[in-house]
Amino acid sequence: MLNILIQKELKSIIVSNKFIVTFVICSILLIMSVLIGINEYKQAVTQYETVHQMADERIQQVSSWHSVSYREHRKPSPLMIFTSGLSYDIGRWSDINSRSTVKLKNSIYSDDPIFAVFRIIDFTFIVQIIFSLLAILFTFDAVNGEKEQGTLRLIFSNAVPRTKYILAKCIGTWLGLLIPILIPILLSVLIVMLFQIQFSSQEWIRLAILIFISILYTSIFVVFGVFMSTMSRSSNVSFLLSLVFWITFVLILPRGGVMASGNIVSVPRIAEVEGLKVSYAKNKWEEYYKNMNDIFADSRNNNTEEDEDISDDMMWANMKAQDSLRKEVTRDIEGNEATLLEDWENKRKAQQHLGFMLSRISPAAVFQLAAMSLSYTDIDLKSSYESALRNYRIEFNKYIDKKSENAGPGAGSIMITMDSDKGMDLKVGRDNAIDVSDRPKFTHPKVQLGKILPDVLINISILLLMFTSLLGGAYYSFLKFDLR
Amino acid sequence: MLENNKQVILEAINLTKKYDDGVVALDNLNFQICNNEIFAMLGGNGAGKTTTINIFLNLLEPTSGDAKVCGVSSHIEPLTVKQNLAYVSENVMLYPNFTALQNLDFFTQLGGRLDVSKDEYREVLMRVGLAEQVHNKKLKSFSKGMRQKCGIAIAILKDTKAILFDEPTSGLDPKAGYEFIRLLNDLKDEGKAVLMSTHDIFRAKEAADTIAIMNEGKFLMKEKASTLFDKDLESLYMQYMAVHGLKPTTEGV
């Protein structure tokens, strides 16, 4: 019985125009998006390799250890072909040296803002928006359409249990939609293979999970459409209802969750934090200069011309005090800076956590978060890269300090020393390039599948819960549906 | 007492249906339909004819009383009852993107017959008057009469003890109407119990063994057609309606 009903659903979809239209739309969109994604990825790889090579060449031409600086680039992930996520928004490189702090700069969108206006359509976008909409278009009249058509009475004049009918509606329509979306998905994967994009085994697994989640996400809208079609006698009403819910859950709620969290957890803007940092530092330095003036004024008042030896001692003591105070102020400012940043980071994380939690009421948000996390193009991409770069900077600077120390005074630069006994001395360093071949190499942060799996499983569970709830809703609603 | 080889197939026992808004659709309806028998319910719109059929199909639950098919209550064991029931609606609507054969195949399988061959489908379609060249045509190109024939073919293929017809001749041209009556008589001869609701007095008189005039959920009159043979059914219908202060529907008159 179930089999007969499923076959009929499948057959009626396959012979309909919507099947062909869906297949054509999905094929064109997915293939185009993957081709664009491959092109973008290849460009990103070429750029990464070229710039890396240039940075290597540049560092080899440096003649002073003090001026050694390296520019480390973010390595593009091949999964950005399917889920670009934040990879176009986040900066691509950061300078590594002792002078500047780590900060990823120059994102693709900041270089070419035109792409930010109409953002790139990738696989995730197509699934999130197009597939969900198609699923609704396939199912909004699944039950009440049959009633309007007049076939529902005839079906239920046979010994058909309602459970089997509603299950067959869901499964049959799901299969009918799966064919025109799965074939283009597989074609896209084939294109990626044909273009010889290197995927590691972990990346293949991630892609397989991404496809699974995409199908699960689309299934939610299939069941949702069937549910809506049991809620009203008229297919026009169920279409409007479905559209309103789709707009709410796909377009509004993901943004709404983030906006609500922004109002609940207040996070100061980074400019405000910078302002607080500067103001604190300014106050501290003013205090320092005031203290120093007081110390010097005291010493001037206590100093007499006859007491020259004592005066020299006092001067050294003052200089020591000045140095110690300066170090203390610097430590204090750095400590305050770290506290402010940590506080800001904690608030930002709390806001982000709450925002994502609230957004998860929408299947679209759950899907997007899971897809970005799987493709390693999520919100953690920036922080994990910057954290890895900061660690690398420490290692790099240690290396430079060590090399500089071993190279002796000058170390390739001009060194001026002043000594009260020896007087002033000026040394010019070597004029040939320094050897940096043994410098520490940056390890690109890689999030292992095992690490993100719990989060992905949570997202899958939420999607499954939504799916079963809607299926239950469709079943319960159909039990009360007037078949006449 | 039933005649030899007669068996009650369809039975309404004090069948009552009251809606939540207080409207009484059926009021203590009682009738029996045996095999080889055609029972016609005549009446205007809202008389309760379709409600009766809906209760037999378990598309509606009775407020009280029972509708039984082969002794089984339709609202207690609906799935068992439906195995013995075929239904042809007023305006047979099938799947427009399926061909006649595909529609037949689906509904026949749904009716529980999985062993029907294509030849058998074609044979039944020919029997109901659908020429071979339309068997593979999509239903969307079919006229109402052709769809009606498909519906009857489905009912024939289901091969049940009882068939329910809801306004079967409504909108059919005279030729199609005549062919339908011929088919109905064939089905009766095959032993089916037929319950038919109709506005069409002449077709009812032509085919039915028992005729009931129905209004507001009650039978105003229920007679054997043989006893009505010499009477003018039309006058009787008008008379009953007039007595009860009703405006009759005179389709087919």
Q: Are residues B239 and B166 part of one domain?
A: yes
* A482: closest CA of chain B, how far (Å): 8
Q: Are residues B107 and B166 part of one domain?
A: no
At A179-194, the pLDDT tens digits run: 989 999 999 999 999 9
3-state secondary structure of A1: coil
Residue B10 confidence (pLDDT) above 70? yes
CB pair distance less than 8 Å for A153 and B89: yes
3-state secondary structure of A95: strand
Residue A424 confidence (pLDDT) above 90? no
Q: Is residue A218 in some structural domain? A: yes
Residues A393, A399, A401, A404, CA torsion sign: negative
3-state secondary structure of A187: helix
* B149: closest CA of chain A, how far (Å): 14
Q: Are residues B247 and B213 part of one domain?
A: yes
Choice between B1 and A171, residue whose per-residue pLDDT is larger:
A171
Looking at A37-46, A92-101, A341-350, which range is the least confident one?
A: A92-101
- B111: chain A residues, CB-CB within 8 Å: 158
Q: Is residue A49 in some structural domain? A: yes
Nearest to A74 by CA among A88, A55, A93: A93
Q: Are residues B21 and B59 part of one domain?
A: yes
- A160: chain B residues, CB-CB within 8 Å: 82, 110
- B110: chain A residues, CB-CB within 8 Å: 1, 4-5, 155, 158, 160
Number of domains in chain B: 2
Which pLDDT belongs to residue B252? Answer: 39
Which pLDDT belongs to residue B131? Answer: 86
Chain B contact for A11 (CB, 8 A cutoff)? yes
Q: What mean pLDDT is predicted for residues A225-239?
A: 91
Spatial distance between the Cα atoms of B31 and B11, rounded to a whole number of angstroms = 6
* HEC sequence for chain B: CCCCCCCEEEEEEEEEEECCCCCEEEEEEEEEEECCEEEEEEECCCCCHHHHHHHHCCCCCCCEEEEEECCEECCCCHHHHHHCEEEECCCCCCCCCCEHHHHHHHHHHHCCCCCCCHHHHHHHHHHCCCCHHHCCCEHHHCCHHHHHHHHHHHHHHHCCCEEEEECCCCCCCHHHHHHHHHHHHHHHHCCCEEEEEECCHHHHHHHCCEEEEEECCEEEEEEEHHHHCCCCHHHHHHHHHHHCCCCCCCCCC
Chain B contact for A160 (CB, 8 A cutoff)? yes
Which pLDDT belongs to residue B241? Answer: 64
Q: Are residues B125 and B71 part of one domain?
A: no
Question: Phi and psi at residue A103, in whole multiples of 5°?
Answer: -155, 125
Cα A231 to Cα A321, A362, A376, B230, distances in angstroms: 81, 21, 40, 53
> Which domain-ending residue is among B159, B193, B208?
B159
Cα A145 to Cα A176, A244, A484, B103, B144, distances in angstroms: 17, 19, 13, 17, 20
CB pair distance less than 8 Å for A157 and B60: no
Spatial distance between the Cα atoms of B112 and A227, rounded to a whole number of angstroms = 28
Nearest to B166 by CA among B56, B29, B16: B56
| B141: β partners | none
Q: Is residue A341 in some structural domain? A: no
Residue B146 confidence (pLDDT) above 70? yes
Which pLDDT belongs to residue A415? Answer: 61
> Which domain-ending residue is among B159, B180, B207?
B159
CB pair distance less than 8 Å for B60 and A484: yes
Spatial distance between the Cα atoms of A449 and A440, rounded to a whole number of angstroms = 26
| A300: β partners | none
Contacts of A425 (CB under 8 A, 6+ apart): A416, A417, A418, A419
Angle subtended at Cα B82 by Cα B76 and Cα B85, rounded to the nearest 5 degrees: 130
* A19: closest CA of chain B, how far (Å): 13
Spatial distance between the Cα atoms of B36 and B59, rounded to a whole number of angstroms = 26
Residues A119, A125, A131, A133, CA torsion sign: negative
With tokens 């969900």, the residue in question is A132
* B86: closest CA of chain A, how far (Å): 7
Residue A377 confidence (pLDDT) above 80? yes
Q: Are residues B165 and B122 part of one domain?
A: no
Which pLDDT belongs to residue A133? Answer: 93
- B98: chain A residues, CB-CB within 8 Å: 11-12, 15
Residue A426 confidence (pLDDT) above 70? no
Chain B contact for A163 (CB, 8 A cutoff)? no
Q: How large is the ipTM?
A: 0.88
Of chain A, the percentage scoring pLDDT greater than 70 comes to 92
Range of the structural domain that residue B137 is part of: 90-159
Task: List the single best residue of B52, B54, B57, B114 to mutate versus A (max A Cβ within 10 A).
Answer: B57
3-state secondary structure of A321: helix
Residue B250 confidence (pLDDT) above 50? no
- A484: chain B residues, CB-CB within 8 Å: 54, 59-60
Q: What mean pLDDT is predicted for residues A31-59?
A: 87
Q: Are residues B179 and B78 part of one domain?
A: yes
CB pair distance less than 8 Å for A11 and B94: no
Q: Are residues B187 and B70 part of one domain?
A: yes
Helix (H) or strand (E) holding A98: none
| B34: β partners | B8
- A162: chain B residues, CB-CB within 8 Å: none
- B92: chain A residues, CB-CB within 8 Å: 150, 154
Q: What confidence tier does A62 reach under pLDDT thresholds 50, 70, 90?
A: confident
Which pLDDT belongs to residue A428? Answer: 58
Q: What confidence tier does A227 reach under pLDDT thresholds 50, 70, 90?
A: very high
Q: What mean pLDDT is predicted for residues A460-483?
A: 92
Residue A337 confidence (pLDDT) above 90? no
For residue B186, the domain's CATH number is 3.40.50.300
> Which domain-ending residue is among B159, B181, B207?
B159
CB pair distance less than 8 Å for A157 and B80: no
Number of domains in chain A: 1
Nearest to B53 by CA among B20, B76, B31, B21: B31
* A176: closest CA of chain B, how far (Å): 15
| B138: β partners | B99
Spatial distance between the Cα atoms of A123 and A113, rounded to a whole number of angstroms = 21
Choice between A100 and B231, residue whose per-residue pLDDT is larger:
A100
What average pLDDT does the structure give for chain A?
A: 84
Q: Are residues B193 and B74 part of one domain?
A: yes
What average pLDDT does the structure give for chain B?
A: 84
Range of the structural domain that residue A41 is part of: 2-263+365-391+439-479
CB pair distance less than 8 Å for A8 and B106: yes
Cα A480 to Cα A163, A240, A476, B147, B179, distances in angstroms: 12, 21, 7, 30, 39
Q: What confidence tier does A212 reach under pLDDT thresholds 50, 70, 90?
A: very high
- B91: chain A residues, CB-CB within 8 Å: 150
Q: What mean pLDDT is predicted for residues A142-171?
A: 90
Q: For residue B55, how many other CB atoms are within 10 A of its CB?
A: 26
Q: Long-range pairs for A170-173 at CB < 8 Å and ≥24 separation? A: A170/A222, A170/A223, A170/A226, A170/A471, A170/A474, A171/A2, A171/A6, A171/A9, A172/A5, A172/A6, A172/A7, A172/A8, A172/A9, A172/A10, A172/A13, A173/A9, A173/A13, A173/A138, A173/A139, A173/A142, A173/A222, A173/A225, A173/A226
| B73: β partners | B68
* A156: closest CA of chain B, how far (Å): 8
CB-based contact B99:B135 (threshold 8 Å) = yes
Looking at A251-265, A290-304, A344-358, B165-179, which range is the least confident one?
A: A290-304
Which pLDDT belongs to residue B253? Answer: 34
Identify residues of B whose CB sits under 8 angstroms from chain A CBs.
54, 57-60, 78-80, 82-83, 85-87, 89, 91-98, 102, 106-107, 109-112, 151, 154, 158, 164
Q: Does pTM surpass 0.80?
A: yes
Residue B25 confidence (pLDDT) above 70? yes
Residue B172 confidence (pLDDT) above 80? no
- B140: chain A residues, CB-CB within 8 Å: none
Q: What mean pLDDT is predicted for residues A264-288?
A: 86
- B112: chain A residues, CB-CB within 8 Å: 158-159
- B60: chain A residues, CB-CB within 8 Å: 484
Chain B contact for A15 (CB, 8 A cutoff)? yes
Which pLDDT belongs to residue A416? Answer: 63
Helix (H) or strand (E) holding A143: none
Q: Are residues B15 and B119 part of one domain?
A: no
CB pair distance less than 8 Å for A5 and B60: no
Residue A333 confidence (pLDDT) above 90? no
β-strands B72-73, B64-69: how paired?
Answer: antiparallel
Picking from A12, A154, A161, the nearest residue to B97 by CB comes out as A12
Looking at A75-89, A297-311, B78-92, which range is the least confident one?
A: A297-311
Q: What mean pLDDT is predicted for residues B82-88?
A: 90
- B85: chain A residues, CB-CB within 8 Å: 157
CB pair distance less than 8 Å for B98 and A158: no
CB pair distance less than 8 Å for B98 and A483: no
| Structure tokens that stand for A236 in this block | 């026009």
Looking at A103-117, B59-73, B131-145, B177-191, which range is the least confident one?
A: A103-117
Picking from A4, A16, A483, the nearest residue to B110 by CB comes out as A4
Q: Are residues B165 and B128 part of one domain?
A: no
DSSP, res A412: T
CB-based contact B86:B127 (threshold 8 Å) = no
Nearest to A471 by CA among A236, A244, A171, A214: A171
Q: Which residue of A has its CA nearest to B86?
A: A157
- A6: chain B residues, CB-CB within 8 Å: none
Helix (H) or strand (E) holding A242: helix A235-246
Helix (H) or strand (E) holding A213: helix A201-231
Which pLDDT belongs to residue A166? Answer: 93
* A356: closest CA of chain B, how far (Å): 45
Q: Are residues B228 and B106 part of one domain?
A: no
Residue A52 confidence (pLDDT) above 60? yes
Picking from B59, B109, B158, the nearest residue to A156 by CB comes out as B59
Residues B72, B74, B78, B84, CA torsion sign: positive
CB pair distance less than 8 Å for A153 and B57: yes
β-strands A414-419, A423-428: how paired?
Answer: antiparallel
Picking from B83, B91, B97, the nearest residue to A150 by CB comes out as B91
Spatial distance between the Cα atoms of A128 and A206, rounded to a whole number of angstroms = 18
Please name the residues between 130 and 149 in chain A that touch chain B, using a CB distance below 8 Å: 149
At A9-42, the pLDDT tens digits run: 898 888 888 889 989 999 999 999 999 999 988 9
* A238: closest CA of chain B, how far (Å): 21
Of chain A, the percentage scoring pLDDT greater than 90 comes to 30
Picking from B59, B80, B154, the nearest residue to A483 by CB comes out as B59
